[in-house]
């Protein structure tokens, strides 16, 4: 699905990543002026160059989306360059190894700090908290900063990035799952709150897509799957991982006021059927 976004100003956070860079390129291809926000300016610049090389308009703005002052500064840069935000995609997020267990259920060995085992009681609570903050406040703050401009002009579209964890907990990733469950709830709350301002708020919940980090966790050097990767494929009816480009149709539909003008407050799985399979 393609739509016309000529003259629209789109902001994508986490735009240096595999999925969100694809979203940013898509927005630019359809005529939007795209502001790329993230902490890694080098990655953002690479995406920006790809967009401008193909005739699109983009700027890179380095900012930590959990820091309100940095997001406020990014807002001013974007306004001075392009104008006020019409479309906001909150893609910044992620996980940290020290907030992830290496086992799926309690094992007495974790109490003894055995090497090679990282259970819940071995996790870094600082990192656990960081994951929650990055994935929750990293969405809330951009909504707070850019949503106000949308409210003043009585139009706008916000798309948050949820997860399979939003619907049910997955093993090993307690902090990430907790945060993403919160994103789905926040999306519903904000959609109802901003409806009088004619702002639609929705989320997509990607299933399992390969990026630089997940490739190492889910695949082997010979092209096979790790144990966890194999489990995911078995649980996914389409029997493969998703491609970043396969999120675009859903994103475009949610943005299009004619196609989805009566759609707000929903979280759409794009997961190859993962949530539809009980595993039995």
Residue 176 among the catalytic residues: yes
The SS3 assignment for 156 reads strand
Dihedral sign for Cα 119, 123, 129, 135, please: negative
Structure token pair of residue 138: 């990293």
Q: Running DSSP on this structure, what letter comes out for residue 225?
A: B
> Residues 82, 146, 167, 176: which is the catalytic one?
176
Q: How many CB atoms lie within 10 A of CB 241?
A: 19
What Å distances lie between residue 132 and 72, 99, 143, 176, 272, CA to CA? 21, 10, 17, 6, 26
Distance CA 45, CA 131 (A): 25
How open is the CA angle 109-114-117, to the nearest 5 degrees?
80
Let me know: does 228 contact 181? Beta carbons within 8 Å: no
The Cα 75–Cα 69 span in angstroms is 10
Active site residues: 176
């Amino acid at each position: 699905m393609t739509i016309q976004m000529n003259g629209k100003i789109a902001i994508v956070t986490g735009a240096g990543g595999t999925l969100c860079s694809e979203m940013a390129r898509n927005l630019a291809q359809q005529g939007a002026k795209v502001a790329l926000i993230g902490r890694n300016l080098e990655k953002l610049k690479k995406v920006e160059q790809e967009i401008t090389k193909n005739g699109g308009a983009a700027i890179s703005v380095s900012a930590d989306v959990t820091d309100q002052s940095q997001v406020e500064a990014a807002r001013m840069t974007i306004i001075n360059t392009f104008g006020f935000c019409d479309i906001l995609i909150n893609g910044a997020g992620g996980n940290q190894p020290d907030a992830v267990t290496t086992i799926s259920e309690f094992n007495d060995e974790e109490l003894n700090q055995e090497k090679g085992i990282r259970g819940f009681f071995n996790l870094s609570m600082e990192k656990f908290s960081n994951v929650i903050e990055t994935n929750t406040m990293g969405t809330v703050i951009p909504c707070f900063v850019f949503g106000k401009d949308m409210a003043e002009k009585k139009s706008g579209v916000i798309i948050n990035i949820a997860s399979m964890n939003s619907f049910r907990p997955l093993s090993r990733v307690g902090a990430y799952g907790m945060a993403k469950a919160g994103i789905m709830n926040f999306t519903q709350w904000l959609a109802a709150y901003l409806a009088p301002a004619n702002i639609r708020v929705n989320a997509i919940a990607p299933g399992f897509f390969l990026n630089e980090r997940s490739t190492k966790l889910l695949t082997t050097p010979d092209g096979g799957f790790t144990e966890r990767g194999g489990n995911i494929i078995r649980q996914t009816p389409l029997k493969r991982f998703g491609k970043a480009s396969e999120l675009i149709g859903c994103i475009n539909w949610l943005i299009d006021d004619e196609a989805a003008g009566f759609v707000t407050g929903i979280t759409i799985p794009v997961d190859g059927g993962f949530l539809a399979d009980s595993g039995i």
